[in-house]
Copies of this chain bind each other. A is one copy, B any other.
């Protein structure tokens, strides 16, 4: 039994933590939150230099050629630091789409630049409020050109290219959905910055007016590819959430030890102690479930889809729980702009939605358990 990261992997995490402590204090997060700056360019360059943008990209394509366990460890640190950079868009999504479904040419073109941080990639998917289902994909693809709009695109303001889900023919089912790789630096693409619940991460609406696009993966298999990539991204995001949950718990614990009321630390009141104990429980379960996801992702186990939903549901619950109650432990001060609590609260709610909501993942988890049990029977 060796259900733990290796010493080397832990060391890599410690290194990332030191780096982020220096380059990404919460003042750096606030700098993006409070300005029109869409991301922290210096931090992004630093991450590229550390090699963190190409951890799983093969060395032949300019990456480190390491595994997903290493990426999980880094993801946790990014989450802990609330890093205001397009890491999840470029690394969890764009890179994974290319690795899962990209042609050799596409890989050769984009992976080295992604690894070097020279380009930023993202995924453009939702078109309206509500669960994104095959029938809601209405952006149309015709003769290599895309027409329509995508909303809530992470890093849509700054991405150089995007993977875009589109419908190539009539109908409304999953088989009609294909994926396209689109260079966003063309006139037929209009970007509109969106105001969101977490301005420390930029989002935009993208309008495509006959934008040139090339297919990614087999046409008609778009939905199946994106489900695969979402599963992988869900595990990586779970580590981001685990990092955030842990930090929110620590903040709350530290404040409870320091803040005095009625002549004693508020952390000596059972109401606060038990709230923190419950946060610890959530964070611990999320971490353990995350490890299960990391194992499945790193080994390509057949349990991957189920493990992804497990990690996702648990991590979303934990980060939302810890971030919410971190404010509560801080009382009125926790609701000031000056305190950092709201940064975690905002991020926890952003990450709860960016790959589809908790309800959808709950449903997926049980559907997948059911499929496994049926197969086993």
Contacts and interface: CB of A to CB of B under 8 A. Distances in A.
A48 to B, nearest CB: 50
A207 B212 CA distance: 73
| Copies of the protein in its oligomer | 2
Contacts of A271: 270-271, 274
Contacts of A270: 269-271, 274
Contacts of A274: 270-271
Interface in A252-274: 269-271, 274
Interface string A111-151: 00000000000000000000000000000000000000000
A25 to B, nearest CB: 35
Interface string A269-306: 11100100000000000000000000000000000000
A269 B269 CA distance: 9
A281 to B, nearest CB: 15
A1 to B, nearest CB: 35
Contacts of A269: 270
A89 B186 CA distance: 75
A78 to B, nearest CB: 36
A274 B274 CA distance: 11
A270 B271 CA distance: 6
Interface string A324-338: 000000000000000
A91 B5 CA distance: 65
5 contacts: A269-B270, A270-B270, A270-B271, A271-B271, A271-B274
